Structure formats: structure tokens, C-alpha cells
Structure 1
Amino acid sequence: MDTTLRDGEQTSGVSFSPSEKLTIAQLLLTEVKVDRIEIASARVSDGEFAAVKSITKWAKANGYLDRVEVLTFVDGDVSVQWMQKAGAKVMNLLTKGSLNHLTHQLKKKPEQHFAEVAAVITLARKKGLEVNIYLEDWSNGMRHSREYVYAFLDFLQTQPLKRIMLPDTLGVLIPSEVQEYISAIVARYPKLHFDFHAHNDYDLGTANVLEGIKAGAHGLHLTINGMGERAGNAPLASAIAVLNDFMPEVKTAVAEKSLYTVSKLVETFSGFRIPANKPVVGENVFTQTAGIHADGDKKNKLYFSDLMPERFGRQRKYALGKTSGKANIENNLQQLGIQLSDADLKKVTQRIIELGDKKEMVTQADLPYVISDILDSNTIADKVKIEDYVLSHAKNLKPSATIRVVIEGDVFEEHAQGDGQYDAFMNALKRIYKKKKQELPGLTDYAVRIPPGGKTDALCETVITWRHQEREFKTRGLDSDQTVSAIKATQKMLNLI
């Protein structure tokens, strides 16, 4: 069960709009193919109600309604009525899984709590709702008040429930405890279905998920990018990769190839950035930096593992920097279709090491320019030069651009308008290339980086990602003006194609 839209949205500073929630819900069920999604907490806000209503409307029309779940509370008929108005059919009832929480938060006796839980379950079932139960703070309950947990489960096995959900609410368990506690519960209640809900406060979420399944848990709660309270939940991508590789007897319906795509979408909607070194979905996790690794890959795939990028719709990359070595550079040149002699390759390697020592970022797209500079050769000279341009921006008027471009000695001049100065520039450029009957690459990402300090004359780096003939590549430009740095990055792209 994916709980990105409920527990994941409890990440500090994250709030999805109703349309964003609907889009993520649709992708999770139709593309990623998780079994269930938990999409909200009842009674939170009008926006949350609108989001749930739009998801349940879509889910009902497409046969997914029984796979859409909402967190609810022991509050008499309030949550039940909310569920009915929202069109939801499966409620995940939050109850107390430790004596400490029951005594100090609710200030109630076990028998009183059990009776109130039973009343909500009875009402929900009468209204046609399916009920699952969360045992909040269950992990501490097993550590400090196991008899209470067993008494509660003894009671719950008499109730018309679908699943009992065991959350490590505070993320305090270590793998051996997960193994011990879940094994004990599954052995004691063999007819009940138990889900395990791991948090990541000690960075043990994925390890605990693996132990939970080994111990006999029947289901898992996970989130995209490990989003959630505090340090977050166990991440879906990591957990699926671990289960597929280390527990092949456990089958899931999750489509590995969709994990990276939905991860990037959730990153965009949430503003919650994925760390570059995050397993499976991070930008760097399939990038080899050390030259010895690239050399080993080239000779006999010595640094490959079962965790192959192609499984997740990704590609292996070889970084360029001071530790790259010749093999990394050769791999990048091969992808660009460039061959160099050993002597020239040695010179290029040395220059990239020097740039790395200066903390310069070198990309694959920079390689032809490094080569051209070092070898003083016309073989990769600038065939395209953006000679002149005038950019205008005025209030209540569309931005415009007039540009003069020299392509292999031929001069072209065009004028165009756009939604911004750079858009106007690109529209003029497209007109020039249309005359040449050549299509420009599509722009898939546009990132601007400005050093901290707030100086208006600071250098601005624009990194643009392009897609051309089924290949993606990046170019970058550096200038104190953001639009000019984008134009410099664009000129690099024109020469690369």
C-alpha cells in the first residue's frame, strides 16, 4: 500500500493540490501498479475533502474504489459520515497500539477504548464501509506493554476487519526487533492479515521492511521518495528493489520501470527534493565517478550488480572529474561518437583532471569543447555561432528577439515574439532552422543556479537538458545575465547536433 498522499503529505512543508493528488493517485494505481493507496486523513480540510472526492469519483468509474483508503479516527459517527460524503469505501481506523499512548493521550482504560473502537467498526460496516485498523505506536507497545497489544489483538480478532496495520510510528525499531515482534504476532494470530508500516528515523526503514516480510508480514506501507513524518517512511523504490532481488519468492505487481518517472513527478509536485545519492531514484546512483570502476565495467562489467539502471528506465553514466581516469572519458566519447588517439586521450584526461581540481563541473556536452581547445583542431570547431541578438521586454507588450546566426558561413537573421525573452529567442531560432529543414531538440529541463550572497552581478549558470533523436544531453552556459547564459548553453547545443 502506498501512503504518499497521506503519510507522505505529512512531510514538513508539503501540500498537494486536489489535481496533483488525483494525478499521483492515477499513476500509482495504473502505471506503478501498487495494490492500494492511502490518500488522505478524514476531517482535515475542505481541500482534502475535494481531493478525496475527485479521486473516489475517478476510482469508482475505473474499478479502483476498493483500493483507495482513508485514515479515520475513533470519533463516533463523524469520520464515517465524512467517508460517505467523500465517496470513499475503505477506512483505516487509527487506534492506540501502546498502553503509554492510551493512558497519557486518551486517558482511558483498555476496555473503554476497545468498546469505542467496536462501536465505530459496527457503524462503518452498517454503512457499507470496509475497515482496517492501525495500532498507533505499536512498536513501543511491543517493547513496553506487550500484554496490552495482545489483549487488543484478542479483541480485534472478534471484529469484522480486513487488515491490522502495525506501524513503527516513531521509527525506533531495529531489524532484529521487527523480526521478533512480527514473528510472534503472526504465530499467535495465524488467521489475521498484518501490514507493516516502517519509518526511517534511524535510516533502517528498508532493512526493517525486509525483516518484516521475512517474519511473515502480509503487506507493506511505503511512500514515493521515502516522504513522510520527520525522516519519512520506508521508500517504495528501495523496498521493491530489495524484495525483488533478495526475496524472489515474494511477488509484487509493482512495475519497476515506472518508479523513477513517478518519483520525479512527486518531486516536482511536492518541492521535496530527491537527494542525488538516494538509492534507485537519485541522480547519481547509476553514475560511476572513479576511473577504476569505468575501466572494470569496460573489461568485464566488473562493477555491475543486480541493481541495473535499465530495470528502472535509467542509464548508467560516467562522471567527468579529477577521479575520472581515461576509461570514464572513453565511455563518454563513445556515447558522443568521437574517437581519439591514445596521445590525444591522455591530453584530454589531464585537462579534465585539472578542471576537477578547480571544482569545475565537466559534462559530456563539454567534451567536444575541451577537445577542440586542447587539440587546437578544426574538426570540432564552432560551426554555428550566434553572432548578434537584440532582446526586448516591455510592460504590456510581448517580449521579442531579433537574432543573427552564422551556420557554416551562411548568415541568417530572424525576428520573433514569445512568452519571455528566451522563448522569443528560441522561436526566432526555430524559424531559422525551419528554413534549413532541420528540427531543433526538445527542451526537457531548464535549471538556473546562482551562488548565494545576493549580489546582482553574480555569475549565473543555466543548465538545459535537451532531447534529440532518442538521446538526452545537457549543455550549460555561464554569464552574469540569466538569459545570456541560456543563449550560451543553446549555442553549445547547436554545435553538438
Structure 2
Amino acid sequence: MNIKVLDTTLRDGEQTPGVSLTPLEKLRIASKLEEIGIDFIEAGSAITSEGERESIKEITKQGFNAEILSFSRPLNVDIDYCLECDVDAVNLVVPTSDLHISDKLNTTRDKLIDLSNDAIDYCKDHGLIVEISAEDASRSDVDFLREVFLNAIDHKADRLCVCDTVGILTPDSSYDLFSRLNNLNAPLSVHCHNDFGLAVANTLSAVKAGASEIHTTVNGIGERAGNTSFEECIVSIDRLLPEFSTNVQIGEIYDISKLVARSTGVYIQPNKAIVGENAFAHESGIHSDGIIKNSATYEPITPELVGRKRKFILGKHMGTHGLDSRLKELGMNVNKDQLNQICNDIKDLADKGKTVTDVDLQAIADNVLQINHEDRIRLDEVTIVSGNKVMPTASVKITIDNEEILNAGVGVGPVDAAINALKSLDMFKDIALIEYHVDAITGGTDAFIDVIIKLQQGDKVVSARGTEPDIINASVKAYIAGVNRLLRD
């Protein structure tokens, strides 16, 4: 059975405290959702503001295959704004719990049904598809909930949605609730919140009980503890519920996760399933050994399935198999005694509380192998001109193979200008700076700065470090150290 996906990242997800997306950011996310096969995109809430309406209009103008919806209360003024935005459908949200009916709306059950029916009629008269969402359905009287839905079907509502608005369902109660509602002769969808960390589990139970549509947000963002996590739910359906499927291109999941994280500024916890940075990272020696022999030993899915790559982490729990694999990736072949010595040295470093990076690994391995490198490039001098009304400009003097070279560059800041002064030289043009990280090692304005970078040339990636009180010098030294490593290799 094919399960349809309604993504509400642009509406419910944007209600995450501190998140406010620009029209361009919304369009980028919507375009990616369309690209990866989402069936329904809730683009926003048209009643919210003029800016929100402009964002929705930009999305509806694209002619996506996905159905574009706006959130709407059961009020003509809301629906009129939806019509102005030229959406295909409305997510018509109608409270159905006595708590909401009496305390929030100060009305009665009968008046609530009339309000719902009138709103559906108004939508259908104006050519809109209607998904009626029963707000706080998980705390509603089920018989009354059925009555609201049956009335909605009589008035030509297209889809019915059960909302666990405050996340109180459990997998068992979710299955029971949807089992009691799956015979209403209309597609049934599930919208869960994650207040108790059960949104994905409750959504999967609803699917098993008859729901044919799920509501999600990318990275599980949303108010309070968030909504059903898109990536966790999609991969779980694909791998754990073989009788069900979706139209989502699973290999694109990591890309849209990173896009939403960058656009919203909402940090993804490292241990988050599927998209967290540690989801396919291994440090334990036993695990690394098993993974190298057969990845299924300690991974339920391959990282490539969702657009990821496996990582072996350097640390005190590491074993020699994972270490040897990482050394080979760095182009270093060692014998058994050398491998054991490098492993012991790394564990000594980790026991001191230090995070072991590829730069540390390179230094330790060089020491064990007694490699003395002859660097082709040497930094002689860096000069910076920068100010409020001056474009940052850098001149860099370096020596390459005993030839002194002076070059200049500009950038958005002094570090960028200094690196650009190097990158414009022919020797550096095919080298890409793919990662840049800065730490202050000591306190105070005279703190030592530790700059760690990653450079890529073709299919080879190297790390390098520069440590100086001056961030510009540290950055340039790290960059040149990395280039020297690439040239050696």
C-alpha cells in the first residue's frame, strides 16, 4: 500500500520558536520537497501576514506536481486568503475535544459541527480540495469525532486527519484510535506531535491501523518538542513495514535535512536517527571490526541509502581494524607493529580528554613512521588591510620551490582575503576548501587560535591545522600545511 506524505515543515515546522523563513528559503525548501517526491506541501498559513501570503504565492506559481495547501481555520476570512494565494487545497483545522470547544472557542458541539460544515461548503464552492484536521482528536470523544468526520464527508471533504495535538498517544492507543476510524470511506491521515518522544512510533501504528497519509516535518522540527520526523518515518516505513511504501526518494533525505537545518538555524543533535552526524559513525573496536567485515553487523541500513557516508571515529574505544581503514584512506600503509603503536598513542591522547582529529592522526603516524617531510611551500609574510569602509585586502608572500612569490586577494573578511590571495595562484586553483573550523584554546583576547581545515583535490581529502594567537596567520598556515600534504601525496 502506498502511503501519501504531507510535509508541513513550512507551516508547523516554522512555528519552532526562533524560526522565521524568508520567501526565498521557503521556495528552496518547497522545491526540494517537490524534487524528492512529497505528495502534499503545506506551504504556510495564509491568514498570518502579507509576507506569508507572498511566500505561498511564490510556491503556487511554480506549477509543482505536489498539491500545495494552506492552513486555515473554519472561517471565511481565512479561506479567502487561501484563495488569494491560489493554493490547491486547505488544511481546515477544526477543534474536536471538549476542552478546545468549550475553553478555547466558547461554543458547543452542535455549533462546532455547523461551523465545520459551513467552512467545507465554502471551500468546495470555490474549488478547493479539503483536508479536515480534527485538532486535539486524541483527547476527543471518539463517537463525536466520528460524527464530525461523517458530517465532513457528507459535505464533500476529501480527506480526514486525526491530530495528536499534544502528543499523548502511545503506539497502542494510536492503533486503537485509527482502527475505530478507518471505515469512514475517506482517506485518513495522521498528524502527531512529539511531546513524549513517540510521534514516529504513533505515526507508524496509525499507518498499520489504516491511515493512508502521514504528516511530517523535516528533522522533526515544530512547536514544543516538534512533530513527526520526516526522515525517521520515511526510512522506517521503507525498511520496517514492507507492506507499505512512499513516493519519497530516500537517497535525497540527508540533503533536505541539511537544507532545512541551514535555513532554520535549528541544530541537529549528533545522535539523531538517520541524519545526525553520529548516525553512521563508529568508534568501538568491536563495532569497527564487524562493520569492515560486513556492515550489516552493526548497521540496520547502509549510510548510502539515505545519502550518507560511514565514519570511523578516532578515540580510546577504537580498535586497530578501524584505524587501519582510516590510515589507508589517508594513503598510509603500516605494518602490524606500527599500527599497534599508532593505536596506543591515539588512546594516550584520548585519555587526556583530547578529541583526536585527522591532523593528530597524521602527526602521530608520521612520528611512528619517522617521516620527515620536505615542504615545497613556505609562508613568509601576510599583510592585511581592513576596515568599516574598506574591502578586506590581503597580500601574501610565500616561497614555492625556493622561488619567492607575492600575491594579493580580496574577500568578505581578512581570513577570506588571505586565502583568496593563495587560491588565485595556479598551484592552488584545483584545491577546494571544504571545511573550516576555529577553536580558542586559551581564554582572553590574546588566546591561541586553533584552525582546522579540510582540503580536497580530486578524490583526495586531507586535514591540516594551524595554531597561532592571530587567526589570519593560523588560517593561512593551516591552508598551506594542507596544500603541502596534497603535494606530497
Tell me if both proteins adopt one fold, taking TM over 0.5 as the criterion: yes
The letter of the residue matching 1:310 is E
TM-score of the pair, normalised by structure 2: 0.93
Answer yes or no: is the 8 Å Cα contact 2:161–2:189 preserved in 1. Answer: yes
C-alpha distance 94-452 of structure 1, shift in aligned 2 (>3 A): farther
1:87 maps to 86
C-alpha distance 397-354 of structure 1, shift in aligned 2 (>3 A): same
The letter of the residue matching 2:397 is R
2:100 maps to 101
CA RMSD of aligned residues (A): 2.1
Distance in structure 1 (CA, Å) of the matches to 2:329 and 2:91: 51
1:302, CA displacement in angstroms?
5.9
2:12 maps to 7
Q: Give the 5 Å matches for 1:433-452.
A: 434=426, 436=427, 439-450=429-440
2:331 maps to 337
SS of 1:147's equivalent in the other structure is: helix
1:84, CA displacement in angstroms?
1.7
Answer yes or no: is the 8 Å Cα contact 2:454–2:482 preserved in 1. Answer: no
The letter of the residue matching 2:337 is A
Please point out which of 211, 223, 226 is paired with 2:220: 226
Distance in structure 2 (CA, Å) of the matches to 1:472 and 1:119: 62
C-alpha distance 212-470 of structure 1, shift in aligned 2 (>3 A): farther
2:241 maps to 247
Distance in structure 1 (CA, Å) of the matches to 2:404 and 2:351: 40
2:390 maps to 397
The letter of the residue matching 1:393 is S
Answer yes or no: is the 8 Å Cα contact 2:292–2:322 preserved in 1. Answer: no
Answer yes or no: is the 8 Å Cα contact 1:451–1:459 preserved in 2. Answer: yes
The letter of the residue matching 2:200 is T
1:363, CA displacement in angstroms?
2.2
1:28 aligns to 2:18 (yes or no)? no
2:480 maps to 491
1:446, CA displacement in angstroms?
3.2
Distance in structure 2 (CA, Å) of the matches to 1:331 and 1:263: 28
Unmatched runs of 5 consecutive residues or more in structure 1 = none
Distance in structure 1 (CA, Å) of the matches to 2:442 and 2:24: 34
C-alpha distance 389-440 of structure 1, shift in aligned 2 (>3 A): farther
Q: Deviations over 1:436-482 (max 9, x none)?
A: 4x5342223434344797x3233434343433314555544443333
Q: Percent identity?
A: 31
2:52 maps to 48
C-alpha distance 440-365 of structure 1, shift in aligned 2 (>3 A): farther
1:167, CA displacement in angstroms?
1.1
The letter of the residue matching 2:233 is A
Q: Deviations over 1:411-454 (max 9, x none)?
A: 4332333332222222221243x0x4x5342223434344797x
2:167 maps to 171
2:209 maps to 215
Answer yes or no: is the 8 Å Cα contact 1:73–1:95 preserved in 2. Answer: yes
1:425 aligns to 2:418 (yes or no)? yes
Answer yes or no: is the 8 Å Cα contact 1:38–1:68 preserved in 2. Answer: yes
SS of 1:185's equivalent in the other structure is: coil
Q: Deviations over 1:179-219 (max 9, x none)?
A: 111111114x2x11110011111111221122111111110
Answer yes or no: is the 8 Å Cα contact 1:165–1:194 preserved in 2. Answer: yes
Answer yes or no: is the 8 Å Cα contact 2:380–2:397 preserved in 1. Answer: yes
Answer yes or no: is the 8 Å Cα contact 1:365–1:496 preserved in 2. Answer: no
C-alpha distance 135-475 of structure 1, shift in aligned 2 (>3 A): farther
Distance in structure 1 (CA, Å) of the matches to 2:388 and 2:60: 44
SS of 1:403's equivalent in the other structure is: strand
1:68, CA displacement in angstroms?
0.5
Distance in structure 2 (CA, Å) of the matches to 1:452 and 1:337: 33
Q: Give the 5 Å matches for 1:454-473.
A: 455-472=444-461
Q: Deviations over 1:94-143 (max 9, x none)?
A: 101212211211121111111111111111111111111010001111xx
Distance in structure 2 (CA, Å) of the matches to 1:479 and 1:363: 18
Distance in structure 1 (CA, Å) of the matches to 2:379 and 2:15: 48
The letter of the residue matching 1:491 is I
2:409 maps to 416
Distance in structure 2 (CA, Å) of the matches to 1:467 and 1:168: 47
2:67 maps to 67
2:267 maps to 273
1:159 maps to 155
Mean Cα displacement is larger for which, 273-282 or 361-370? Answer: 361-370
C-alpha distance 477-21 of structure 1, shift in aligned 2 (>3 A): same
Mean Cα displacement is larger for which, 382-391 or 6-15? Answer: 382-391
Q: Deviations over 1:245-295 (max 9, x none)?
A: 111221211011111111111111101011111111111111101112112
2:3 maps to none
